[in-house]
Amino acid sequence: MKYGLILNGQIECDPVSDHTILTRKAAQMGFNLTETTFTEAVVQRIASRALWIVPGIEERPQPPAPTGYRGTLTGWQYQPSHPRLLRTITYTAMPFDDAVADTLNHIAEQQDTALARIEHGYTEQEVKTWAQQQAEAAAWTADHTASVPLIEGLALRRGVTVAVVVEKINAKVTAAATMTGIVLGDAQAAGDQINALKVQHETDTLPDDWFDQLQAMASGWRKNWPPELM
């Protein structure tokens, strides 16, 4: 654990993990830390001088929202009531351009995660055959004499007819297309709203609540999604 040095209420050494640094620093001030265990806050006193050896605590609170805020690590602050040295992260709202980029990145990440869930439950090799399965199913639906070697192989190994496999493929294609449309449609709608704000920014007509609007887009762009996409 990191420890630091406080002399008469003033920070003499920021918290460090290498306690030999503290020992040397204390020795330069006339204090002996060779028997200090560095397991809790302790104090040594020489005349009017008091040297506290205190733990350094780093608090990392979550930002007010997933997007739109930039965190800054504060300097070490001495808290004599505990005693300890504490530093934390303070958050400030991003300026417009940064907030827009952060919102777009957030939406893109959630979009990619949702699209990946559409393929959940299928192996990578199976996913690679989807395009061929779809093409053969479409060809067979249009002409039952069409060459469909992949589908015929699937039907043979499963002990069903080509028609059954084609029906399953068509159902899978329809379901995947529907899910993909939901994801991409909502993402594009959010992108349109963000682009509208960018135009207002460029024309100096940006509304005062632009930050709140971006926050609402980031948290609410997914409209009534089915649970399997969330």
| Judgement on whether residues 21 and 105 belong to the same structural domain of the protein | no
**Residue 180 is inside which H or E element, if any?**
helix 162-202
| Judgement on whether residues 109 and 197 belong to the same structural domain of the protein | yes
Question: What is the arithmetic mean of pLDDT over 141-160?
Answer: 96
Percent of the chain with pLDDT over 70: 100
| Judgement on whether residues 71 and 128 belong to the same structural domain of the protein | no
Q: How many CB atoms lie within 10 A of CB 77?
A: 11
* Residues 151-209: tens digit of each pLDDT: 999 999 999 999 999 999 999 999 999 999 999 999 999 999 999 999 999 999 999 99
Q: How many CB atoms lie within 10 A of CB 98?
A: 13
Q: Rounding to the nearest 10 degrees, give the CA dihedral for residues 120, 118, 230, 93.
A: 110
| Judgement on whether residues 194 and 111 belong to the same structural domain of the protein | yes
pLDDT value at position 230?
86
Question: What is the arithmetic mean of pLDDT over 78-106?
Answer: 97
The domain containing residue 167 runs over which residues? Answer: 96-229
Global pTM?
0.80
| Judgement on whether residues 65 and 154 belong to the same structural domain of the protein | no
How high is the mean pLDDT of the chain?
A: 96
| Judgement on whether residues 77 and 179 belong to the same structural domain of the protein | no
